[in-house]
Structures are given as C-alpha cells and as structure tokens.
Structure 1
Amino acid sequence: MHQPGPPRFCAVGESVELAPRDPNPEHEASYEWSIIESPPDSDLSVPDDPVWHLEPDAPGTYRFELETPEGRYEQRIRAFPDVRRSTSFDLERDRLPEHDPEEVSIMGPFNEHLFDREHPTLEGGTYRYEIDAEPGTHRYGYVPGDDFENAVWEEVTVPGPGKPRVFLDGPDEADGDADTTTVTAEATPGTDSEYDADELAVEFYVDDRDELTDADLEVDGHRARVPVTDLEEPVRIHAVAVGERHSVADCVIVHPDGRVERRNDPPEWARDAVVYEIFVRSFTDEATFESLERRVPYLESLGVDCLWLTPVLESPTKHGYHITDYFDTSSDLGTREEFESFVDRCHESDIRVVFDLVINHTAREHAAFDMSAACVPEYEDWYVWEDLAETGVEPDELASEIGAENPREDYAPPARTTPDGETEVAQYYFNWRGIPNVNYDSLAVRSFFLEVVDEWVDVVDGFRCDVAWGVPHGFWKEIYERVKSHDSEFLLLDETVPREPEYAESEFDVHYDTTLYYALRDVGNGERPANALLEAARAPRREGFPEWSLHMRYVENHDETRYLEECGPEAQRAAVTAVLTMPGVPMIYYGQERGATEYRQLMPWEGDGEATTFHRRLVAARHDSPALSRGDLVDVDHEAVGEESDAVVAYTRETDDEAVAVVLNFGAEPVHVRVDLDLESMDLVTGEGRNLERTDGGTVLEVEDAAVLRVADDR
C-alpha cells in the first residue's frame, strides 16, 4: 500500500516531506508525482523524485497525485499564512571562551543542529545572526571554532500568539438507527491570541484514503455531521483550529455504526506510568541480559511500571547508539533469546519494556555506510552526502587518524571521493562524526527501517526514538500507524530537541519535557525562583501541544550531568518530588535513587539507602493518589514566614474527590512556609505526621526539602 498518508498541515515557509509508504526500492522509477490543484498564487513545480520536500509558496490547499506500481493515490497539503518574523539570535562576545571571531558558528533547529554551517556577524561586542522565526521560545548555541563542548547556549523569545488547540470527540457508543453521527471540535485559543474560543475557525477534512469526501460532511461551525448509513469501512476525520495560526491537527475514526473513536490518545497505561531508565552497560557489573533479569526484583521494589533501556543492538560502543546490526542484540549483552527472557520476566512483574530505536543514523562501522562510502550503486544514496565546500570541514581534517578510543567525538569527518573525483562529507549532527545521518529521500532506507520496526514491535512494548527530530514527520506518521494497527497499547516516546508540538500529530504519545528539565536545573542552581516550575509545567499549552499529549519529566538522563552533583542533595529531593507530583510521565534515571554522581557510572548498589527509600515512597504516593497521578495542577498562595525565599514553591493536584498539596524547598536550609490551605498532618511520602501550625485560613509548616500533604476535605 503506497498511499502517502493523511492530509498534512503546515504554514508557508515550512517544509513537508512527501513520500510513498511501504515503498519497493526496486520499482523506484515507477513512483511519480504530479499536481492536481494548487493556490492561484503558487508557482510550485514537482520534481521527478519519489521522495521530495514541498515548500508551499502561497497559502491554500494543494492536491497531488502519486502514481505507484499499485495504482494512483492523492495527497493533500493545507498551507496556512507565514507567521514568521525577523529575529536576531545574539550573544555577547565576552561570554565565549578565548576564540577566533572568524571561526564562530551558530547552531539550532533552524539549521538542524549542523555544526559549523551558519556564521554570525560581529557588531561591536555582540555576535548577531538574523533569520525569520515563528512566535515562541527558540534555543540556540554559539560554538567557538570546533570547541563544541564549550558552546554557549541561549534562548530568544519571539513575541506573538501561540498555536490554538483542537480536540475532537463524538459518541462512543453505537447508534444503529442514526443516519449520521456528529464529530465535535473543542477549540482553544493560543496564548496571547486575540480570538475567543467561539471565534476560532475549525476546518474538517476526510482522509483521502477513505470512501467519503469533504463534500459528504455537513459542517456547522465546530461540528461536522458524518453520514454513516452506507459506510462499509471506518473513515478518518481530521480537523485543525485556525486563529492567527493553525493548531496541531486532531483525528478521529468514525465507524459505520456511528461510534467515534479517538485516534491520537496515548495508551491508557502510560497516563499512570513511572518510567525507569537503565544505561544498559552500567547497571550491573556483568552487563548482560541475564544479569538484568536477576535485578528485576529491585525494579519491583521501586514500584516502577515501565523500563526504558538504552540501545541493546549490536554496537562497538559502550552507550550503544552506534548500531552496526539492527536485527540482533549486541553480542556482549547476550542472545536475542536471553533478551526476550528478560522482557518476559519484566512482564511477569507488570513492568513494560521500552526499546531504544535509533534510526536517524547508523554507526560509521555499519556495512551500509562502508558500501555507501565506496559508492556501491545500491547504497550510494543511503546517507546524506554533501559537497566538502558546503560543510565547514577543512580538507586537512579528513586526513586525521580514524579509530580513536571515543569515535563519537574523535573520528575524522566521514568522507568519500565520488567517481567524478569530488570530495563529499557525510552529514552528522553536532560533533557526532561517528554516526552519519541516513538519507530518508532513499526508498531503500525507508524500506530497511520499516523492516527494523517490524522486527522488534512484537518483542517490546514501545520505542523511545533517538534523535526523533532528525527523522521526517511523514516517516514517523507511517511508523505510528504501523505499530498502532499492530498493538494500540504500543508506546512511542520522542527525543526532540527542542520540543515541537507537531510531533503529537499522529506520531508520538509521550514527549521529552526539556522545558521543565531546564527549569529544574536553573532553580536548583539558584538562577531562577522556584515558582518558575509552575510556568514550565504549563508550558506545553503555551507551546501549542494538544490536550492529549503526555510529557516525560525528569531531573537527569544518560546525556546529562547528575542533578545531585550539580545542585546538591536538598535541591535534588525537591526536584525529584516535583517530577513525581506534577502532571506528566515521571522518569527516574538509574542510580539517581542511589546517590550516583556521574552520568554513566556503574550502578552504586551499595549507595544511598535513604535516598532510595525516598524515591520508593514518592512512587508509591503517586500510584496511591489519583490526584497526584491525574489531578489538575493548581497554584497555591504561599510565603516563607519571616524571610524572603525564592527557593520555595507550592501547588496542589486536584480531582473531584481529592486534593494534595506539595510544598518544595530548593534551598540548603529548612524554611517555615505558610500556605493558604487547611492541610492534614500526615505526609504521604514519609508516612509520618508533621507539626502544623493552624492559622486563620491557612497552615504553617517547616519544609526541609519537600512536603506532600492532603488538603482537609471540607467539601
């Protein structure tokens, strides 16, 4: 089935990848695109390639036809007006270490984090780089020369309204007597929007793969009536809310009996999950699947119910992200049978296993890369090869020795000489010279990685997708449909840097929450007040993430320094409490609960037992309290008694039946805090009563690091 997928939504100035699904590389010449319809002001033309990147040049609707070996299919693109505005990404010169101004470069999502490509101008004492950027907060880094480790990272906020949001719903029970069923859109304005909810437009679209058309819908404002009398198969209805900007699209499935099934909702189990990440080769001395299996009782004791493993496939590196064989487990860890035995043992303990899927790049040692570098025709386009002059790589760098101890940083840039005598360099992100980017314009690459997905979808319960921002949206949408049709409970977790709400549109269930992560670090370092956490926790709405999206919240992971080492034990207990009591999917990184201070060190099994008990009790409190796992986040008026303290924050999590107050102190000394609530004395984490001083309309308590107390039920 080569139909290219659902309708796509973008703005002028953005790029949308169009490609056949489940392609046959042997029939590449049989895939041909043509334009059926385009806006009157568009001068767009279609290339001859089967995979191409559409950049709409005018707002409106585009319709394309894809001819394939199996037939002809349509693909629609709805392009909205360009909302970008000229923005300056600045940095004071003296913030960089000693450097040559001629060798300073800037990287960020605007250039896909490609190293040494874009160069700023130096105006007085300020580096400046100007581009068009959409409203929101943008993170960027200035790099002195090739000293990536000493890059200085900064953010700039572009003013303007946020994205609106839309949520589709309808009857969830069959009504066999009805001729139509109604799909209702709940539209919410973006932050700083001039639109009210009822002023937002909602556009409904029938999926081009289904038997109905847009003309079959009876649309009235935020409602669409769908005829079901003659339906033979379910149909998919997509919608976007439109104000100053357009929302992430939502989708529902309308069944012939009138039922409406939501398409984008994450698995129900994920809403209550606590994730534990294991850096596989550092969790046990033996570093084998058998040794991991023997430690499952420890995971049970923590109360976690989802395990994320860093890569377990064949790799020459300790971290495993340089993969050389996608169809077998790494020989040093054990056989595939031993891996599956470990997964089965986790399932016996009601622990789901998430597998690290690495498909943005391969190891430089992968056989496909060797053949691509040697210009073997079948593999020539498997990787993104660029002309040497376009990369910023100096010719003398290509002659440096290959095979250093740490290939991720120390390899020479990967290069080849073409049959025409031209020098090309394989593209890689940041300074990751050992993991060249694969080329998703290649049908062979797409087919290969679909086979990888199929190979492991029956073995594990989900994929954590490494460098998800480097793989095209269209391919993630294809993977999403592929795995969800196989198992609707399968989980997809993205690593996107920075966060982008578009990955919630039929692509991923859970998203890295880098916004809260950075806020926790800044608060723990005393660089921001603790109240900043509340703004960060609510950032997904401001950033345009839809209502159904879940966000993985954490204080550290395998790519970051340890919070304990950077911010200290008191701040760590407060930060961990925040992660496990705020909305979202909390994640614990192995060793965090044992006092680990190095980000990939051997698990300190003889470490901090008190910290482990603290983590166990926090996990138990979250599981035992519906408010802590699913309640609304509500601000609480509070103040430090007799002193000023920016290190304190208070909030509640509330359901109709329960409210739990959380008071956090990121400072090194205990603080007496007054909150405007009547609290019960029993702390849900320690299990012990606290000394409370009742005041008129409030409670005063001493907080060393964290307090988690129920609000007295006066309802």
Structure 2
Amino acid sequence: MHHPGPPRFTTVGDAVELAPRDPDPNESYEWTLLDAPAESDTTVGDGAVEYLRPDVPGVYRVELAAPDGTHQLTVRTFPDEREPARFEIPVEDFETPAEEIDRVGVIGLFNDHLWGRDEAVREGDRYVFEAQLEPGVHNSTFIVNDGEEHHHREFTVEGPGRPRISLDAVRDGDVFRIEANARPPADSSTEASALDVVFCLDDRADLEESVLEVDGQTAKLPASAIDEPVGVHAVALDQRHSVRDTVVVGDGGDTIAHPNEPPAWVETATIYEIYVRAFAGERVQTTFSALERRLPYIESLGVDTVWLTPILASPTEHGYHITDFFEVATDLGTREEFESFVAACHERDIKVVFDLVINHADHEHPAFAQSAAGVPEFRDWFVWNDRAEPDADRSRGPGPDDMRAQRYFNWSNIPNFNYGEPAVRSFLLDVVEEWAPLVDGFRCDVAWGVPHGFWKEVRERVHEIDPEFLLLDETVPVHDPDYHDLEFDLHYGTEVYSALRQIGSGDAPAGALLDAVADAERAGFPDQALQMRYVENHDEERYLAEYGRDSLRGAVAATFTMPGVPMIYAGQERGMTDSRGPIEWQSGDTGLTNVHRRLSKTRSETPALESGTLERIEYHTDTEQAVAFGRATDDQRVFVALHFGPGTATVRLPEGIGSTELVTGAPIEATPRDDGVAVSVADVLVVEATD
C-alpha cells in the first residue's frame, strides 16, 4: 500500500515531506493539494516526493495518486513558533588573523548542517549570524574560510515549553473511550484541565471524521463502526503543541495498542556499545567469533543489550562509510558467523542492536560511482549541487553538467542519499528488511539527516517483523522530541550528557543534573520517551581522559541511578583513555570494572532505579560537587547521593533511611542533623527511604 501514513502535525515555517510508502521506482506518483485555509497561497508539486510548506495555521489536505489508487493525507498546522536568534563570535576568538579571513560560514540544524549555505556577517569586532528559530537550545558552528578553523556556539531562544500528552483507551460496551492525559509545560500558568486537545482519525481508516465524538479531553469511537484496526491521534495545545500520542483500537474486539510506546524490555535494559574493530585488543583481530568468545565477560557486567558499530562492508575502521549494504565486512567474518554471534547473545538473553547507516553511502559505493558518471538509472540517487555551491564534494561530468554531491559538515567521502528519489527509498527499505529480522533493534546513524516521514515508515516496517523492535536515534547535539512522534523509542540524553561533562570540568555544580532532566521535559518529550544515559561514546573523548577517575565514578553512577537507560561504551569500564583505541584487557582497571558491575546489579535489583520517577528532595552538602535526589515507584522509594570530586562529601538527606547502602551492601553510618541525617559519600550512595 502506497498510502503516505499517519496524519501530520506541524507549524507554519516547517516543511512536511510528502512521499508514497513502499514506492515502485518504475511507477508514477502524483500529489495534489485538495484543501487549504482560505488565506493560504501554498502549492505542492506533482512529483513522487514533494514538500508541503504551510504558510498559515489550519488544516491542509493533500492527495496522492498511486498505482493502487488515491490516498489522502491531513496536515494540521499550528502558528509559527519561531523567534529571532542571534549567534555571534568575537573576531579575537579566531586563531586566523582577521585580515586573512575571507568568509565565515555557519552550520547547524537550522540549515541541515550544509557547509556553505549560510555566512556570518562582520559587525564591528565580531561575526554575527541571525535566524528565526523555535524556542529551545540551538547549536551552531562557525567555519573560517575553507574549514581550517571552526568554533561552536550555543544559543537559547526564549519562549514557552511544549505541553505533553498521553492517551489511554478502554472499551465500554459498544464504544471505545479515549482519554487524554494532557500536561502543561512547567513554565505555563495553564491548568492541565484547561488545555485544548485535538483528536483525529488516521487517514488510512475508511471512516468519516464525524464518527469520532470529541468532548474536551475525551473522544469516543463506536466499536460497531470499525472493521479493522484504527489509529486515533491527539496533540495537546498550550502556547505550542505537543508531540502526538496515538492509540490503535481493535477490529470489533477489545484490542488496544500504543504504537508510540517503547518495547517493554528497553526500560530495564543496560546497553554496551562495542566499537567493533578495537574490541578484541591490540594484538588480536576482532571478528564475530572473537566477539562471541567474549560474551561471558559482557554478561558479567550485567549487560543485556549489545550495540555494535557498523559491521557492513566498508573501507574504514569505524565502518560508517558503507560500500555494500547487504554484505558484512569480510575482515569481521561471514554472515553465518554474525548470525552465530547473535544466536549466542540470545542464548544469554542479550539483545543485539545493529548500527543502521542510511543517510549516506561511501563515495566508492557503486550507486554513487554511477551517479557521478551520469548513468540515468542512478543520476538522482544523490543530491547534486552546482559546482559553485561549496556544500558538495565530487564532480559529475564536464561543462554545464559539472556538479558536486551534497554532504553534511566536511564529510567529503560520504555523499547524502536523495530521499526525493523513489528508487533510493525502495533500496533503503530493502536494507531495513534485510537486517531487521536478524537483530533486536537499530541504532540509526545521523537520524536527523533522514526525513521524518521515512522514519515513520521504518517504524511500521520493523514492528511488522517484531513488535518489540527497538529504534534508537542519533540526533545530536539537538535533542528534538519530534523524533518520538511515531518514530523512535530511545533517544540520546544529550542534556544529561552535557551536564555530566560540565560537572566534570568544574563549569557546573552537580545540581545541574536535575535541571538537565527538567530541560528534556520542558522540550516536550513525552513521559514514555526513554533517554539513553552515557558519559562517552565512539564520537566523544573518554571521560576519564578529560576529567579524571573521581569524576568518572560519579558520572557513571549518575547514568545508573537517574531515569533512563544506561549505556557503557566498551573500554570505559576498563579505564580506557583512547576513545577508539584497542581495549586493554590485561592492563585495564579491574577496580573500575567492578564499580560498573556493582552499579548494574544494584539497578537491576532496585525497582525504583529501573523505573521510578525522579523526585527533588531537600538535601544539603558541603560541596558543589555533590547532589542528591529521590527515585520512587508505588512500592519503593530510594535516596541517591552522587559525588564527583576527590575524597568524600558530606550530604544531609531527609530523615527515615535504611541502614544498608544498596550499591556496596555496607552498613550506613548516619549522623542525625536538624531535619535529616548526614552521610558520607565517596562517589555514590543509594539507600532505601523508610518514611
């Protein structure tokens, strides 16, 4: 079925991709704008893949003519949220002498990280770039001349946070009743009960919208009207709109599904990222068989999910430049040996996450070579720009056809796939279906570079194969809740990661951790969205090398005790300082390894740490390098104290604590103080609350 999928929710200023699902490159597809607000002047093209650019708030309806018939899609558009943003950098911050600076380019998510699209303007003693951006934290990079120097800057656009919503549904006689749990952002004065909620039916349902009866934050749908599963979507409205939530109600039975919820196993998972070719060590080649032999060690860490960096054919050590999307790298072994590794993981109840790279290909991939050579079948597989445009890298023919392939940043060897080409979409869906049946999840590289609509299609595809399939997005440094809109389950927790780095460097107090969690909520991430907690990964410097062992122990403890899914980057637990160097098996820090084991075990044995809510508590400490908080479920409450500095910190916790520290099992020496008890904390203390 070529229907473009669920209805879309957007704002004025954001373009919505329109594309057929499961396209046949040999067939024709055409879009038509059926309906738009009276004040709108927008149009859509008639190609297979187009963009709708809503220019006023309201409801837009488009129709796709496809080989299997016509399909309609509704786009609900809310007011423009953007505000003026001004990034600036003093000239004196550049190492390049001012008289040698010809141009200063600016890249960020606001221009798709395309090098050369925007330039900063010299204003007196600084370079300035202005843009219209939605409220929140935005990152930019200033690039001098042709890239010999670059600087990062962060800018916060002031404005309201986003509300959040979750849907519950029950069958009551002949009616499915859908209740919205709408919550305003923390900075809003609106009561939850006063929030507007917009409900709508999935466009794929053969039902009139009027069959859905809406009364405030409740919707009712007659079960007798349904002869197949139907999606009901909703967003909450305050000054901005929420990420949608969805329920799917059954086909005359009581079936109710929540497609936006992560797989149940992920909430309690502990992830272990393996930078594949470095894992076996300096003198041993990493192969799938070598990985399989080390599973007892991985299991000993309390890990139940392994994420492998790319394992497909690639000329690079890291594997992110892929030359064959259907073959494993020969230096790692055969496909049969990879499948043996996966089976061995499953025998130990360890899930396997595959690194899916579908934003780009290596420039030696046959499709790119033929696209560059002007072969008609492949001409539009990549995005080609005029040679005069600098955000490109490779020639395609002489004379007027002299073009270059678009890529992000200065990634000159990995041109971007053109998602406007149906053949590309079909090819990459085949890649998804090739590997999804073998593994338990995808970590999706450069997820921000792939259209939202394609990820929505990928989600439905993999859930048809395995309803418990995990999707983890790499959307860094911007942490965007819209990637939880029927797309991803688990997200890089960049706010907490950044806070841990700032605490380690001494640029922020330990209490910044609690604000970082609140920042993700303010951004609009739904309650069911899971955040991955980490101190490092293969793209970042080792935390130990940057901030030392004391800070590392506190930071690792934070990843296991704060809400979210902890991730260990292989070698972190061995005291590695080289981010991509071979694992030091013989000379590694076994004491630090055991710290990770204890934390993993404590989390798995403490329900409040695995799934409890975060509570701010009254505490006092003698250093800014310490922080305390609570975690609670209906049946358990614990207090956690973290310390990122040398020696020990004294932390006063509320009265009523247990006598045993849960990480070490040691008795707690608590000294009564006014309104609490004082405890000594080296790196982490977890204690059960008794009151």
The residue aligned with 1:619 is 600
Letter in 1 for 2:485: E
Distance 1:111 1:417 in 2: 27
Q: Determine whether 1:486 maps to 2:465.
A: yes
Q: Determine whether 1:281 maps to 2:277.
A: yes
Q: Determine whether 1:580 maps to 2:553.
A: no
8 Å contact kept, 1:133–1:158: yes
Distance 2:616 2:353 in 1: 34
The residue aligned with 1:243 is 238
The residue aligned with 1:425 is 404
The residue aligned with 1:525 is 505
Tell me by how many angstroms 1:701 deviates.
1.9
8 Å contact kept, 1:614–1:685: no
Map 1:172-571; keep pairs closer than 5 Å: 178-255=173-250, 256-284=252-280, 285-391=284-390, 413-417=393-397, 421-497=400-476, 498-571=478-551
The residue aligned with 2:679 is 701
Q: Residue 170 of structure 1: SS of its match in structure 2?
A: strand
The residue aligned with 2:168 is 169
Distance 1:266 1:145 in 2: 44
Cα pair distance change 1:392/1:381, threshold 3 Å: closer
Q: Residue 528 of structure 1: SS of its match in structure 2?
A: coil
The residue aligned with 1:52 is 50
Q: Determine whether 1:63 maps to 2:42.
A: no
8 Å contact kept, 2:391–2:408: no
The counterpart of 1:602, out of the listed 564, 577, 582, is 582
Distance 1:633 1:392 in 2: 44
**Range that drifts further, 262-271 or 114-123:** 114-123
8 Å contact kept, 1:180–1:258: no
Q: Residue 224 of structure 2: SS of its match in structure 1?
A: coil
8 Å contact kept, 2:114–2:391: no
* TM-score under structure 2 length normalisation: 0.97
Distance 1:190 1:91 in 2: 32
The counterpart of 2:657, out of the listed 679, 684, 688, is 679
The residue aligned with 2:84 is 86
Gaps of 5+ in 1: 394-412
Tell me by how many angstroms 1:263 deviates.
1.7
Distance 2:624 2:225 in 1: 63
Distance 2:102 2:619 in 1: 51
Tell me by how many angstroms 1:417 deviates.
2.3
Which string of whole-angstrom CA distances, capped at 9 and with x for unpartnered residues, describes residues 185-206 of structure 1?
1111124234221221111111
Letter in 2 for 1:618: L
CA RMSD of aligned residues (A): 1.4
Cα pair distance change 1:190/1:290, threshold 3 Å: same
Tell me by how many angstroms 1:211 deviates.
2.4
8 Å contact kept, 1:288–1:334: yes
The residue aligned with 1:639 is 620
Distance 1:365 1:615 in 2: 41
Tell me by how many angstroms 1:258 deviates.
4.1
Letter in 1 for 2:246: C
Tell me by how many angstroms 1:442 deviates.
0.4
**Range that drifts further, 459-468 or 36-45:** 36-45
Distance 2:666 2:145 in 1: 56
Distance 2:190 2:619 in 1: 33
**Range that drifts further, 301-310 or 653-662:** 653-662
Tell me by how many angstroms 1:19 deviates.
0.3
**Range that drifts further, 453-462 or 43-52:** 43-52
Q: Residue 521 of structure 1: SS of its match in structure 2?
A: helix
8 Å contact kept, 1:516–1:537: yes
**Range that drifts further, 292-301 or 650-659:** 650-659
Which string of whole-angstrom CA distances, capped at 9 and with x for unpartnered residues, describes residues 496-548 of structure 1?
02111111010000011111111110110000111001111222211111121
Distance 2:15 2:47 in 1: 16
Distance 1:661 1:33 in 2: 57
Which string of whole-angstrom CA distances, capped at 9 and with x for unpartnered residues, describes residues 42-61 of structure 1?
11222121101111111111
Distance 2:226 2:652 in 1: 61
Letter in 1 for 2:271: V
**Range that drifts further, 275-284 or 197-206:** 197-206
Distance 2:202 2:315 in 1: 44
Tell me by how many angstroms 1:215 deviates.
0.7
Tell me by how many angstroms 1:114 deviates.
1.5
Distance 1:582 1:70 in 2: 49
Letter in 1 for 2:104: V
8 Å contact kept, 1:681–1:689: yes
Distance 1:673 1:191 in 2: 28
Map 1:16-55; keep pairs closer than 5 Å: 16-27=16-27, 30-55=28-53
Q: Residue 94 of structure 1: SS of its match in structure 2?
A: helix
8 Å contact kept, 1:84–1:133: yes
8 Å contact kept, 2:307–2:443: yes
The counterpart of 1:665, out of the listed 632, 639, 643, is 643
Letter in 2 for 1:4: P
Letter in 2 for 1:193: S
* TM-score under structure 1 length normalisation: 0.93
Which string of whole-angstrom CA distances, capped at 9 and with x for unpartnered residues, describes residues 198-255 of structure 1?
2211111111111222110111000001011142111110111112111111110111
Distance 1:605 1:707 in 2: 29
Q: Residue 26 of structure 1: SS of its match in structure 2?
A: coil
Tell me by how many angstroms 1:392 deviates.
5.7
Distance 1:465 1:279 in 2: 15
Tell me by how many angstroms 1:92 deviates.
2.4
Distance 1:258 1:43 in 2: 44
The residue aligned with 1:409 is none
8 Å contact kept, 1:167–1:546: yes
Letter in 2 for 1:22: D
Q: Residue 316 of structure 2: SS of its match in structure 1?
A: coil
Tell me by how many angstroms 1:689 deviates.
2.2
Letter in 1 for 2:353: V
Which string of whole-angstrom CA distances, capped at 9 and with x for unpartnered residues, describes residues 28-53 of structure 1?
xx211112111101112221211011
Q: Residue 671 of structure 2: SS of its match in structure 1?
A: strand
Distance 2:613 2:225 in 1: 42
The number of residue pairs the alignment matches comes to 683
Letter in 1 for 2:614: L
Tell me by how many angstroms 1:612 deviates.
0.4
Distance 1:181 1:509 in 2: 26
Letter in 2 for 1:261: A
8 Å contact kept, 2:32–2:46: no
The residue aligned with 1:407 is none
Distance 1:701 1:96 in 2: 48
